Structure 1
């Protein structure tokens, strides 16, 4: 079995992620912990609500109850990106060219590298945001669908409509699909690469017993893994129409113990699967082969993040029992 280096923190840990070879753990109380020659702590927020790894730079982005959007560097130093007094920052996205987006209420705000901002008003409260992998384009999930905005050029947004509450949004790495999680324990997707003037095709991905809280794309975007069932539900996206008319794979099935977090390996089609009881499994898509990465712990797995070389996996739980798994051991 791989070796596990445990780290016991107090409280709900929102995010586990690597910057380089250093694991970071973001605590809901507003502190950021990193294992860098011992445990080091950065006081970031008065109540942390969201923390994400910026895939375009060696940093994390965080938002809090104090209305601040922060960038946290590998050495733990902090830069304030934006401040929205009396607002709770629950949505964040990292874009190309050092762009950062955050949302509050019915507004999506994009902060560009030069510090200038663009604000986009939505018809309903913004529940999730994401940048497209190519071009400076942002998606905002809301009630009854998603709005797509080009950041640099004025014009009307593209509206992707589907009735119901959409709670988060993601683009496929190849830019061909947009997928949302929904309040009703389902995913919904739209195909973007349609001929101009023709209607956007969409797809429903249903059958989940619980709400989907975690999504992860495989390295080349052929698969989308999701939580919300007693197995990781992995949808195929390699064909022209993605998962339309296709059944998903189920990995790491455990009778009635729910998957709470999923994280694809950065280079291989191997999926880390975290469960409500704190167990973590590794599963290979090609043959479904499984390996136990961590035995059950004190609380549900809330987040997992791979190191750049894919040899280490940081994990966090809602009970504060965190750690790093060395899969090369």
Structure 2
């Protein structure tokens, strides 16, 4: 049976990650909690609210942004470095790419900061609502009103504009870089096939908004929240999910609030509005209860460690913990 190590953190858990083997939790009150043995130590990172967080691709640092205009990096030892400062700006989006590149956004401006300290500003006509780097890191997708902009970050070229009416809030590239998908203010996703110049993919039918997306280990499926089950769209066909039925895993009478695909196996961890966490296998829908419905309200964050043996979780009500499947 899995064992659970729990930590009452008393603040909305914005993100849960692992820095190497160590769990880390970004909290909405401006703190980052680092786990040391049986306890979690809070480190004051932002003077106001912490709005977004992303782990660097090398897995060594967590990048956080806040309403104090700061972009901050923290490592597993608690070392804090200020990477950038935009006074009087709310920085509510952040993404990490290869070779130490970071993108963050405030309003209509997206800032791309390279490992050598050089910074570039990308201007948009509307608010930048979601950021995602392509797998090789050469392009950045910026979700916005009426579509998504794809920038070549190393050149001065104008972005490629993919249009679809509505407010696009989040973005992700498929692991092969051939597709870009956005979440929308409507209860749906929209996608474009980058390789053929923006062929459309529409994924709808959700009872709620999709706020969490996660690609399976081999990029065959995109798992999503927003329904009373995890909805997994198939992307291993020429036209992606168009005309295909998605997998529907972990059906309950509770809305799925967060999903996290296993790093090596076709298994997805599913977090629900009542705080429950399930692990479900794609092949036969076999389910394992990892956390029963409990304190802290809806699951707001999930993350597997590199080996896929431990799962970190956080809730909207400030409960956090680590589920060890090897115990």
> What TM bracket, shorter-length normalisation?
over 0.9
Deviation string 1:112-163 (CA, Å, 9 cap, x unpaired) is 0111111111121100111111142111100000000101112121000000
Residues 15 and 27, structure 2, Cα contact 8 Å, conserved in 1: yes
Q: Secondary structure at the match of 1:193?
A: helix
Deviation string 1:177-222 (CA, Å, 9 cap, x unpaired) is 000000001000001111xxxx521110000000001110011111
Residue 7 of structure 1 corresponds to: 7
1:16: Cα distance to partner? 1.0
* Stretch moving more, 57-66 or 140-149: 57-66
* Stretch moving more, 56-65 or 201-210: 56-65
Residue 161 of structure 1 corresponds to: 163
Q: 1:228 aligns with which of 207, 226, 229?
A: 226
Aligned length: 324
Residues 56 and 100, structure 2, Cα contact 8 Å, conserved in 1: no
Q: Secondary structure at the match of 1:235?
A: strand
State the alpha-carbon separation in 2 of the partners of residues 294 and 51 from structure 1.
24
User: 5+ unaligned residues in a row in structure 1: which ranges?
Assistant: none
* 1:41 lines up with 2:35 in the alignment: no
State the alpha-carbon separation in 1 of the partners of residues 304 and 223 from structure 2.
15
State the alpha-carbon separation in 2 of the partners of residues 217 and 56 from structure 1.
18
Give the CA RMSD over aligned residues. Answer: 1.0
Residue 207 of structure 1 corresponds to: 205
1:244: Cα distance to partner? 1.2
State the alpha-carbon separation in 1 of the partners of residues 105 and 309 from structure 2.
34
Residues 18 and 59, structure 2, Cα contact 8 Å, conserved in 1: no
Residue 98 of structure 1 corresponds to: 100
* 1:282 lines up with 2:279 in the alignment: yes
State how 1:71-90 maps to structure 2 within 5 Å. Answer: 71-90=73-92
Residues 20 and 59, structure 2, Cα contact 8 Å, conserved in 1: no
Q: 1:115 aligns with which of 114, 117, 128?
A: 117
1:41: Cα distance to partner? 2.0
State the alpha-carbon separation in 2 of the partners of residues 134 and 214 from structure 1.
22
State the alpha-carbon separation in 2 of the partners of residues 93 and 81 from structure 1.
13
1:239: Cα distance to partner? 1.4
1:56: Cα distance to partner? 3.3
TM-score when normalising by structure 2: 0.97
State the alpha-carbon separation in 1 of the partners of residues 237 and 326 from structure 2.
33
State the alpha-carbon separation in 2 of the partners of residues 64 and 167 from structure 1.
18
Residues 93 and 131, structure 1, Cα contact 8 Å, conserved in 2: yes
Q: 1:188 aligns with which of 187, 190, 204?
A: 190
Residue 58 of structure 2 corresponds to: 56
Residue 132 of structure 2 corresponds to: 130
Residues 56 and 94, structure 1, Cα contact 8 Å, conserved in 2: no
State how 1:137-152 maps to structure 2 within 5 Å. Answer: 137-152=139-154
Q: Secondary structure at the match of 1:97?
A: helix
Q: Secondary structure at the match of 1:175?
A: coil
State the alpha-carbon separation in 1 of the partners of residues 139 and 167 from structure 2.
22
State how 1:234-273 maps to structure 2 within 5 Å. Answer: 234-255=232-253, 257-273=254-270
State the alpha-carbon separation in 2 of the partners of residues 87 and 285 from structure 1.
43
* Stretch moving more, 279-288 or 69-78: 69-78
State the alpha-carbon separation in 2 of the partners of residues 278 and 105 from structure 1.
32
1:83: Cα distance to partner? 0.7
Residues 56 and 95, structure 1, Cα contact 8 Å, conserved in 2: no
